[in-house]
A and B are shown apart, each in its own frame.
Chain A
Amino acid sequence: MARHGLVTALLLVVLAAGCGAPAGAAAYLSKLPVALDVTASPKPGQVLHGGEDVFTVTWSLNATQPAGADAAYKSVKVSLCYAPVSQKEREWRKTNDDLKKDKTCQFKVAQQPYAAGSQGKVEYRVALDIPTATYYVRAYALDASGTQVAYGQTKLADAFEVVSITGVTTSIKVAAGVFSAFSVVSLAFFFFIENRKKNN
Chain B
Amino acid sequence: MEVEAGAHGDMAAKSKFSLPVDSEHKAESIRLFSFANPHMRTFHLSWISFFTCFVSTFAAAPLVPIIRDNLNLAKADIGNAGVASVSGSIFSRLAMGAVCDLLGPRYGCAFLVMLSAPTVFCMSLIDDAAGYITVRFLIGFSLATFVSCQYWMSTMFNSKIIGTVNGLAAGWGNMGGGATQLIMPLVFHAIQKCGSTPFVAWRIAYFVPGMMHIVMGILVLTMGQDLPDGNLRSLQKKGNVNKDKFSKVLWGAVTNYRTWVFVLLYGYCMGVELTTDNVIAEYYYDHFHLDLRTAGTIAACFGMANIVARPAGGILSDFGARYFGMRARLWNIWILQTAGGAFCLWLGSATELPASVTAMVLFSICAQAACGAIFGVAPFVSRRSLGIISGMTGAGGNVGAGLTQLLFFTSSSYSTGKGLQYMGIMIMCCTLPVALVHFPQWGSMFFPAKSGATEEEYYAAEWSEEEKSQGLHLAGQKFAVNSRSERGSRHNAVLADAATPPNNTPQHV
Residues of A within 8 A of B (CB): 3, 6, 10-11, 13-15, 17-18, 21, 88-92, 128-129, 131-133, 164-169, 172-173, 175-177, 179-180, 182-184, 186-187, 190-191, 198
Which residues from A are CB-within-8-Å of B72?
A: 131-133
Q: Which 5 residue pairs across A and B have the least CB separation, nearest first?
A: A167-B199, A180-B118, A131-B69, A183-B117, A176-B121
Instruction: Tell me if B301 is interfacial: C-beta within 8 Å of chain A.
Output: yes
Which residues from B are CB-within-8-Å of A129?
A: 69, 197-199
CB B232 to nearest CB in A, in angstroms, measures 8
In contact, A3 and B70 (Cβ under 8 angstroms): no
State the majority secondary structure of interface residues on A. Answer: helix
Question: Given contacts A128-B197, A179-B121, A180-B118, are A13 and B297 in contact (CB under 8 A)?
Answer: yes
In contact, A169 and B286 (Cβ under 8 angstroms): no
Question: For the complex, what is the distance from the CA of A129 to the CA of B188, rounded to whole Å?
Answer: 14
CB A103 to nearest CB in B, in angstroms, measures 8
- Give the bracket for the number of chain B residues in contact with chain A: 35 or more
Question: For the complex, what is the distance from the CA of A165 to the CA of B288, rounded to whole Å?
Answer: 29
Residue of A nearest to B64 (CB): A92
Which residues from B are CB-within-8-Å of A11?
A: 354
In contact, B286 and A131 (Cβ under 8 angstroms): no
Instruction: Tell me if B429 is interfacial: C-beta within 8 Å of chain A.
Output: no
Question: For the complex, what is the distance from the CA of A88 to the CA of B412, rounded to whole Å?
Answer: 9
Question: For the complex, what is the distance from the CA of A65 to the CA of B304, rounded to whole Å?
Answer: 58
Question: For the complex, what is the distance from the CA of A190 to the CA of B107, rounded to whole Å?
Answer: 10
In contact, A183 and B357 (Cβ under 8 angstroms): no
Query: Considering residues B69, B203, B353, which has the most beta carbons from chain A within 10 angstroms of its beta carbon?
Result: B69
Cross-interface CB contact of A172 among B204, B307, B308, B416, cutoff 8 Å: B204
Question: For the complex, what is the distance from the CA of A169 to the CA of B217, rounded to whole Å?
Answer: 27
In contact, B125 and A168 (Cβ under 8 angstroms): yes
Instruction: Tell me if B474 is interfacial: C-beta within 8 Å of chain A.
Output: no
Which residues from A are CB-within-8-Å of B74?
A: 88-90
Which residues from A are CB-within-8-Å of B210?
A: 176, 179
Query: Considering residues B121, B211, B214, which has the most beta carbons from chain A within 10 angstroms of its beta carbon?
Result: B121
Name 26 A/B residue pairs within 8 A (Cβ), A-sorted.
Answer: A10-B297, A10-B357, A11-B354, A13-B297, A14-B354, A17-B288, A17-B294, A91-B415, A129-B69, A131-B69, A131-B70, A132-B72, A166-B127, A167-B70, A167-B199, A172-B204, A176-B122, A179-B210, A179-B211, A179-B214, A183-B117, A186-B217, A187-B217, A187-B221, A190-B221, A198-B232
In contact, B200 and A169 (Cβ under 8 angstroms): yes
Which residues from A are CB-within-8-Å of B211?
A: 179
Question: For the complex, what is the distance from the CA of A198 to the CA of B70, rounded to whole Å?
Answer: 49
CB B45 to nearest CB in A, in angstroms, measures 15
Question: For the complex, what is the distance from the CA of A92 to the CA of B286, rounded to whole Å?
Answer: 6
Which residues from B are CB-within-8-Å of A128?
A: 197, 199
Residues of B within 8 A of A (CB): 65, 68-70, 72, 74-76, 107, 110-111, 114-115, 117-118, 121-122, 124-125, 127, 197-200, 202-204, 207, 210-211, 213-214, 217-218, 221-222, 232-233, 286, 288-290, 294, 297-298, 301, 304, 307-308, 352-354, 357, 361, 412, 415-416
CB B35 to nearest CB in A, in angstroms, measures 20
In contact, A186 and B114 (Cβ under 8 angstroms): yes
Which residues from A are CB-within-8-Å of B197?
A: 128-129, 165, 167
Question: For the complex, what is the distance from the CA of A17 to the CA of B285, rounded to whole Å?
Answer: 11
Question: For the complex, what is the distance from the CA of A187 to the CA of B121, rounded to whole Å?
Answer: 16
Residue of B nearest to A176 (CB): B121
Question: For the complex, what is the distance from the CA of A83 to the CA of B361, rounded to whole Å?
Answer: 38
In contact, B298 and A172 (Cβ under 8 angstroms): no
Question: For the complex, what is the distance from the CA of A10 to the CA of B304, rounded to whole Å?
Answer: 12
CB B417 to nearest CB in A, in angstroms, measures 10
CB A38 to nearest CB in B, in angstroms, measures 24
Residue of B nearest to A167 (CB): B199
CB A104 to nearest CB in B, in angstroms, measures 14
Extra contacts, 7 of them, besides A17-B294, A133-B72, A187-B115 (Cβ < 8 A), are A10-B361, A17-B288, A131-B72, A166-B70, A172-B125, A172-B200, A182-B214
CB B141 to nearest CB in A, in angstroms, measures 15
Question: Given contacts A3-B308, A198-B233, are A172 and B65 in contact (CB under 8 A)?
Answer: no
CB B54 to nearest CB in A, in angstroms, measures 18
In contact, B304 and A6 (Cβ under 8 angstroms): yes
Query: Considering residues A17, A173, A184, which has the most beta carbons from chain B within 10 angstroms of its beta carbon?
Result: A17
Question: For the complex, what is the distance from the CA of A18 to the CA of B357, rounded to whole Å?
Answer: 12
In contact, A187 and B111 (Cβ under 8 angstroms): yes
Residue of B nearest to A181 (CB): B118
CB A131 to nearest CB in B, in angstroms, measures 4
In contact, B115 and A184 (Cβ under 8 angstroms): yes
Question: For the complex, what is the distance from the CA of A133 to the CA of B73, rounded to whole Å?
Answer: 11
Which residues from B are CB-within-8-Å of A175?
A: 121, 207
In contact, B199 and A89 (Cβ under 8 angstroms): no
Question: For the complex, what is the distance from the CA of A172 to the CA of B107, rounded to whole Å?
Answer: 29
In contact, A6 and B301 (Cβ under 8 angstroms): yes
Question: For the complex, what is the distance from the CA of A104 to the CA of B294, rounded to whole Å?
Answer: 22
Which residues from A are CB-within-8-Å of B415?
A: 91
Question: For the complex, what is the distance from the CA of A18 to the CA of B298, rounded to whole Å?
Answer: 13
Question: For the complex, what is the distance from the CA of A191 to the CA of B301, rounded to whole Å?
Answer: 39
Which residues from A are CB-within-8-Å of B221?
A: 187, 190
Query: Considering residues A11, A21, A131, which has the most beta carbons from chain B within 10 angstroms of its beta carbon?
Result: A131
In contact, A13 and B298 (Cβ under 8 angstroms): yes
Residue of A nearest to B111 (CB): A187
Question: For the complex, what is the distance from the CA of A11 to the CA of B355, rounded to whole Å?
Answer: 11
Question: For the complex, what is the distance from the CA of A184 to the CA of B361, rounded to whole Å?
Answer: 40
Residue of B nearest to A187 (CB): B114
